[in-house]
Amino acid sequence: MKLVTRTSLYYLVSGIPVMIVSGFICYSIATEEIRENSDLLLGHVRYQVEGLVKRKDTASLNALIRSGEAHVRRIPKVDEPTVAFSDTLIADPADPGEDELNVNRMITANVNIQNKGYRIKVWRTTMQSGQLVLGISAAVLTVLLFLCGIYFILNYYTSQWLWRPFYRALDNLRGFRASEGETPAFLDSKITEFKELNASLAQMMQTMVADYGRQKKFSESVSHEIQTPLAVIQSKIDILIQSPDLTDQMAPLVASIADACSKLIRMSRSLILLARIENKQFPATDPVSFLRKVRSALALFDDHLKEKNLSLCIEEKADFTLKANADLCLVLVNNLVQNAIRYNYPGGSIDVTVEENLFRIANTGPSVALQKEGLFKRFNKNEEVKDSIGLGLSIAAEIANASGLVLRYDFEDGLHVFRLTRAE
C-alpha cells in the first residue's frame, strides 16, 4: 500500500468518529432549534386564540378547535396567569382510525380574559426523534462519502504530481549501478524532505561510485603487481628443482616452497576473481548453454576421472540455457566438477543431470553430510584435502548469485548433491 493511500485511509478512519460526534452535536442543536421555534410559534397561536376570545369571534375559534390544534375551556378566575410548555402524545386528527400517537409540543396558558378564567391549550406536531436521527445520519453519510471521493481524487493527483520526485528517486535507486560510473539525475522539488532525500541519495551514490572505482583500481593493481612476482618465484623454483646441484636434503624444502607458492598463486587468482564478481565487472550478455559447459568441463578433467577410476553417468534431458557471462559459467561448472572429483574416493561415481531449469551433480564421498552452515563461505575447506584453498564453492556461489541462479547442497542416499536452479 502506498504511503499517500495509507495516509488517506488514516484520515478517513479518524474522520468516522469525528463525523459521529458531529452527528450527535447536530442532533442536539437541531432538537433545541426545533423546540425553540415550536415554542415561539405556539406562543403566537396562543395570542391569536386570546384575541379571538376577546373579540368573541366564535366562528374562527370553533374552526381552530376543530382543526385539532387548539382547545379552550372556562376555568375559575386565576390569581396569577401561568404559561407552561410540555411534550405530549396526541392522535393524528386527520386519521382518527390510526392508533399511533404522535409527539406534539404543547403550550398551556391559564389566563383571565375580561375577568373570566380560560385555559388555552395549543399544540402542534413536531418531528419525531427517529426521523431527525435518520435525516442527520443520511446527511453525515453523504458528507462522509463526499469526503471519500475527495480523498481518492486527491490521492490520485497527489501521487501523480506531488510525489513524483520520490518515485523518481525510487527508480534511480533500482537502476543505479556503481559499475557504470554515473549518478542519475533527480527531479527538483520545493518540498524540504524530498530535497534532503535527493541530496542524501546523490551523495551516497557518488561515494559508492568513487569507492567502486578505488576498489576496481586496487584489484587491477593487485592482479598485476602480485601475479608478476609470484610467477617469477614459481619459475625460479622450477629452475631450482631442475638444478643438478639440488641435494636430497634440500629437495623436500624446495617441494614445500613450490607447493606453498602454487597455493598462493591460486588463492590470489581466486580472491581477485571474487572481487571482480562482487564488483560486477563481468557483463551478463551471453546466451549460455550449460550442456556445452558440462561437456567442456568433463573433457578438461577426463584425466583426473581416469586417475581416480571414477565412473561417470551423464543424463541429458534438456539444455539449461540462460543469459549470463559465459566465462563465469564455465568457471562455475568447472569448480563443481572439480569439487566432485577432489572430494571423491577412488572407484567412486559422479552423476550429472542437465534439465531445462536444473543442473545437478552428485558424487560419492564421505559417508556423512557436510555442514550446510558456512559451506559456501570463504576458506571453508576440508582439512583432509591438502591442496584445497577453500574458495571453490565460495566462487561457485558468487557466480551463481551474479548469474541469477541458486546453488544448493543436499545429502541424499549417500551422495553429496549440488543443484543449480533459476532464482525465483
Model pLDDT, residue 226: 72
Three-class DSSP labels, 23-85: HHHHHHHHHHHHHHHHHHHHHHHHHHHHHHHHHCCHHHHHHHHHCCCEEEEEECCCCCCEEEE
E strand or H helix at 168: helix 164-175
- Distance set, CA 165 to CA 4, 131, 160, 366 (Å): 14, 51, 10, 58
Phi, psi of 67 (to 5 degrees): -70, -10
Half-sphere exposure at residue 131, Cβ-oriented, CA atoms within 13 angstroms: 7
pLDDT of residue 133: 64
pTM exceeds cut of 0.75: no
For residue 98, the model assigns a pLDDT of 59
Per-residue CA distances from 162 to 4, 155, 168 (Å): 10, 10, 12
The phi, psi pair for 332, rounded to 5°, reads -60, -50
pLDDT at 360: 92
By C-alpha distance, which of 277, 258, 229, 231 is closest to 378?
277
Q: Please give the pLDDT value at position 418.
A: 92
Q: What are phi and psi of 360, to 5 degrees?
A: -130, 130
Q: Mean pLDDT per segment of 10 residues, for the chain of length 424 residues?
A: 69 76 78 81 88 86 83 88 86 63 84 88 72 71 78 72 83 82 84 88 89 76 70 81 78 80 71 68 76 88 89 88 84 88 90 90 87 73 56 81 86 89 82
End-to-end CA distance of the chain: 23
